[in-house]
């Protein structure tokens, strides 16, 4: 058997790429604990609040396909360095923001920078790690860093916001980006794809970006305004038309932006599903839990972040164990079991609420179980997805994988977050308040907390107690829905992944 040559810089490269990914993934959730401070300072409306949280992941996911193809042509290292330049400028804009729309614009630009960075990390990793077993370990580190970064974001955000305000959540990006760029310029290898030739497909770029944004926006609007409004349906129809045209166009081109034919491989398509569906749940849960900790339990941003620690710690441990399990057991069993464990953790808060009520110990157990399941599932799915793609198509695989991560998380906040908001309003009793105050309380639990603070005294305390109880009753059904998605992914895994698939062996 031919033994592939190994790049002597590969472990340094892995460290640099992990640092890059950590920064990007933390920015997906770091604002969750800074959110109450930002809302109190800038007073954004309910729609602006959702956009501040969602626009980063939406911009990132909308541009990943284009960024992956651009890296193939322009150079993956060069694109990664350019992405960090955009990321740094956007962070500065956020630091000096004085209006809600400033933050929304900065978060969108952060998403553009993140889109340039993320496909490059996975493409360079796949190029540098030529041995299948080493690549499986490197991808386990990649998955652990990505998932851990999303969960550690609120912890780091809490540490910063506690003493320095919400602006510091963005200021952190600057020194980290500087260190990564300095190390990357020295150690990262440049690579391009041999197929990246011919004319640039501008039509495909427009179709993919507008189609993905319309898809995400349509689902977001559907969750917020309900099925009776025409706007979400118009956006979803536009997305269906544009993405269908995009796929048909890519199938007809010699050098497509995205290798759609990768989905013809069962292992690849199931692995993508096994990333997307759980991330819908995890994105929503991380958002809802951090709000519950602060509004429902009265924790400070730091206390809220620290109470999320069971999830990332369990996720990292499970990710590191996953390659060993993949050597010993069938891939379909490891992936399916991880998804079932994840579903159990997501269903636990709702189950406990029916019998004992909810407190932090119940959430700590649920977060630990979720972390174990997510660590196993996302690591195995990432290794399977990347290994199922030929080396020449790694950028397409990277774009698809990271779109599943980011779009899944954004969809979770939009759909399950909106579901929780509807349930919150349904659980609120009739309030003995003036019209504007009552409307604000019904708008969101964050606005209820702000109104209670303005009222003060016994009236304010009674209001926040009522709102937090309604919010607690609202979020656990959303968790149960998230668990159902993980069960669907598990069933798909056992049904479609080949029994003899072994992506940790050289072929």
Distance CA 107, CA 110 (A): 5
Distance CA 83, CA 77 (A): 10
CA 464 from chain centre, in angstroms, equals 30
Backbone angles phi, psi at 500, to 5 degrees: -95, 10
pLDDT in tens, 423-443: 888 888 876 666 677 777 777
To the nearest 10°, the Cα dihedral for 326, 327, 333, 338?
-30
Place of tokens 């590969």: 10
Is it the case that residue 400 has pLDDT exceeding 80? yes
CA 368 from chain centre, in angstroms, equals 18
Which tokens belong to 105?
Answer: 């614009």
How much is the mean pLDDT over the chain? 83
pLDDT in tens, 485-499: 999 999 988 888 877
Residue 1: per-residue pLDDT: 45
The DSSP output letter for 416 is: I
Q: How confident is the model at residue 222 (pLDDT cuts 50, 70, 90)?
A: low
Over its C-alpha atoms, the chain yields an Rg (Å, rounded) of 22
pLDDT in tens, 271-329: 898 888 888 888 888 888 888 887 777 787 778 778 888 888 898 889 889 888 988 88
Distance CA 330, CA 336 (A): 10
Name the fold adopted by 10-192+257-496. Answer: Growth Hormone; Chain: A; (1.20.1250)
Where do the structural domains in the chain lie, given as residue ranges?
A: 10-192+257-496, 202-256
Determine the average pLDDT of the residues in 341-347.
94
Is it the case that residue 237 has pLDDT exceeding 60? yes
What contacts 24+ positions apart, CB below 8 Å, involve 452-456?
none
């Amino acid at each position: 058997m031919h033994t592939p040559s190994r790049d002597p810089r590969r472990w340094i490269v892995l460290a640099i790429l992990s640092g890059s990914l950590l920064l990007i993934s933390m920015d997906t959730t770091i604002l969750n604990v800074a959110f109450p401070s930002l809302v109190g300072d800038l007073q954004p409306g309910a729609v602006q609040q959702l956009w501040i949280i969602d626009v980063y992941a939406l911009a990132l996911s909308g541009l990943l396909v284009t960024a992956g193809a651009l890296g193939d042509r322009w150079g993956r290292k060069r694109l990664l360095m350019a992405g960090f330049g955009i990321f740094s400028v956007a962070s500065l804009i956020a630091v000096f923001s004085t209006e809600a729309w400033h933050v929304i614009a900065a978060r969108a630009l952060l998403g553009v920078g993140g889109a340039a960075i993320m496909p490059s990390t996975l493409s360079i990793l796949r190029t540098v790690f030529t041995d299948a077993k080493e690549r499986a370990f490197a991808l386990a580190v990649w998955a652990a860093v990505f998932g851990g970064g999303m969960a550690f974001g609120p912890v780091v955000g809490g540490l910063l916001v506690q003493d320095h305000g919400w602006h510091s959540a963005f200021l952190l990006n600057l020194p980290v980006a500087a260190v990564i760029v300095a190390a990357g310029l020295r150690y990262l290898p440049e690579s391009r794809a041999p197929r990246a030739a011919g004319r640039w497909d501008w039509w495909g770029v427009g179709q993919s970006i507008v189609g993905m944004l319309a898809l995400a926006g349509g689902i977001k609007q559907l969750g917020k305004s309900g099925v009776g409004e025409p706007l979400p349906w118009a956006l979803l129809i536009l997305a269906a038309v544009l993405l269908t045209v995009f796929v048909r166009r890519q199938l007809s081109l010699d050098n497509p932006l995205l290798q759609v034919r990768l989905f013809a491989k069962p292992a690849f398509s199931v692995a993508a599903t096994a990333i997307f569906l759980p991330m819908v749940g995890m994105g929503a849960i991380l958002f809802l839990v951090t709000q519950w900790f602060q509004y429902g339990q009265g924790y400070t941003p730091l206390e809220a972040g620290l109470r999320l620690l069971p999830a990332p710690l369990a996720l990292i441990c499970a990710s590191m164990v996953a390659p060993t399990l993949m050597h010993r057991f069938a891939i379909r069993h490891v992936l399916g079991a991880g998804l079932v464990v994840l579903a159990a953790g997501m269903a636990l808060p709702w189950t406990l609420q029916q019998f004992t009520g909810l407190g932090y110990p119940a959430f700590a157990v649920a977060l630990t179980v979720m972390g174990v399941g997510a660590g196993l599932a996302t690591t195995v799915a990432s290794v399977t997805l990347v290994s199922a793609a030929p080396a020449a198509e790694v950028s397409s695989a990277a774009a698809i994988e990271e779109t599943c991560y980011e779009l899944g998380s954004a969809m979770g906040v939009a759909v399950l977050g909106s579901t929780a908001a509807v349930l919150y309003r349904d659980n609120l009793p009739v309030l003995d308040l003036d019209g504007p105050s009552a409307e604000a309380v019904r708008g969101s639990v964050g606005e209820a907390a702000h109104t209670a603070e303005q009222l003060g005294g016994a009236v304010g305390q009674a209001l926040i107690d009522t709102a937090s109880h309604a919010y607690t009753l609202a979020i656990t059904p959303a968790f149960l829905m998230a668990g159902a998605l993980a069960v669907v992914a598990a069933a798909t895994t056992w049904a479609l992944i080949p029994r003899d698939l072994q992506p940790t062996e050289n072929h």
